[in-house]
Chain A
Amino acid sequence: MLNARITDFFSIDLGTIIPTLLNTIILFLILKHFLFGRVNKVLEDRKNAVAKTYGDADAALENAQKLETEYSQKLEKAKEESAEILKNAAKKAQQRSDEIIDEAKSEASAIMAKAGSEIEREKKRALNQVKDEITDIAYNMASKVVGREVSEADSDRLIEEFIDNVGK
């Protein structure tokens, strides 16, 4: 090494050019395979993973929004249905109550009519009774006044006539 030959400062030397060319190509291949190849792969993987995550998130969001609109529609429909049911029930109840009231009314009027006719009959019966009693009294009084027994048949007829005339 002490006697090593020293080249000129400025000399073209194929013995350096060719190894340098090979060295550079080797370094290029090393960097390509052991640095860029590996790191680019990881970067690509990461990019894909991130893109996939974002895609999944977007899909989930879309799905959730779809479900939300679906559910809100269903809810709306259910509300409408319940309102309908309530309305129908109220209508039915109204109808039923009207029916009941009508029934009650007709029943009441029937009772009233029945009561009226009963009162009429009762009145008639009472009147007849009064009539009979008055007849009796009149008969007694008359027999006392006349002092004789009037035939019952005659008297009855007479008295009837009298009372009828009085009643007029």
Chain B
Amino acid sequence: MFCAANVAAEASSEIVHGPKVVFEIPLFGGISITETTVIGWVLIAVIFFLCLWLTHDLKKVPEKKRQVIAEMAVEFVNNMVKTSMGEKFMGYAPYIAALIVFSASGSLVGLLGLRSMTADINVTATWALMTFALITYNKFRANGALGYLKSFTKPIFLLAPINILSEVATPASMAFRHFGNIAGGMVITTLLYMALGALSNLLHLEFVLGPFTLDVAAVGIPAVLSVYFDLFSACIQAYIFSTLTMVYVSSAAE
């Protein structure tokens, strides 16, 4: 048992790793630009052209399907923001949409064989910090600086450490929830591929063609798990992250 667990842990530490560094900018002692960032740029470019195409030639009476799609998408997010945050927060709709789109597409690129953007703690932590900044900004605006500081001593000042802890826990839990779900899925999928590769090897169903290796047992089976770990998890985590952001920000403004 121990032996098997050790082997798995060793293998996973070898196989499951952080994003590759694509290039370095020779500034400030070298800034490493990783896969995550590059995938983010590609996604932004794709989404940008998609937006341009969808909103090209909009008519008061829709003539093209793509206008209907664009309107549906916008109305979906608008309704979400309206029901979760209220009418006066409609300005947040594009930000919430950006979170959903970036998170979902960043996770779904895993299906293309790329490394999921959201399997990088830096990404989810950045978004969580942005949400935290919005929460704090809204609390300041609603209560003033003094009111904001005072809110930590409620109901009694003895609870201040716990209040501060819960304030910090909000973005931390958001970041780790999103990261953990996607990265965990990635780890499990990788381990499954390894296990199926070992199984193929054992059953002499492994064919090596130059640099490519075909593990027969690895055909089809991972797709079933992928439906949950890649498709479902990607969409649900994007939804959860944006919903939590809306709820926290709107309740911070009260």
Question: Which residues of A are at the interface with B, using a C-beta cutoff of 8 A?
Answer: 1, 4-13, 15-17, 19-21, 23-24, 26-28, 30-32, 34-36, 38-43, 45-46, 49
User: Given that A27-B47, A27-B102 are contacting pairs, would A20 and B122 also be in contact in the complex, using a CB cutoff of 8 Å?
Assistant: yes
B58 in contact with A27 (CB, 8 Å): no
On chain A, the residues within 8 Å of B70 by CB distance are 35, 38-39
- Contact partner of B58 among A1, A6, A42, A49, CB < 8 A? A42
B20 in contact with A7 (CB, 8 Å): yes
Q: List 19 A-B contacts (CB under 8 A).
A: A6-B21, A7-B18, A7-B21, A11-B122, A13-B122, A16-B120, A19-B33, A19-B37, A26-B44, A28-B94, A30-B51, A31-B97, A31-B101, A35-B51, A35-B73, A39-B58, A42-B67, A42-B71, A43-B75
On chain A, the residues within 8 Å of B200 by CB distance are none
- Contact partner of A45 among B60, B93, B121, B125, CB < 8 A? B60
B32 CB–A CB distance under 8 Å: yes
**By the criterion of a CB under 8 Å from any partner CB, how many residues of chain B are at the interface?**
52
Between A and B, how many residue pairs show CB distances below 8 Å? 138
B71 in contact with A23 (CB, 8 Å): no
**DSSP class of A's interface residues: helix, strand, loop or mixed?**
helix
Nearest A residue to B94 via CB reads A32
B137 CB–A CB distance under 8 Å: no
B20 in contact with A5 (CB, 8 Å): yes
B130 in contact with A24 (CB, 8 Å): yes
User: Given that A4-B20, A19-B37, A20-B40 are contacting pairs, would A12 and B101 also be in contact in the complex, using a CB cutoff of 8 Å?
Assistant: no
B33 in contact with A36 (CB, 8 Å): no
Q: Kindly supply a per-residue 1/0 record for chain B positions 57-77, scoring 1 wherever the CB is within 8 Å of any chain A CB and 0 otherwise.
A: 011110000010011011101
Closest 10 CB pairs of A and B: A7-B18, A32-B94, A16-B122, A34-B51, A28-B98, A39-B74, A38-B55, A20-B126, A19-B37, A23-B40
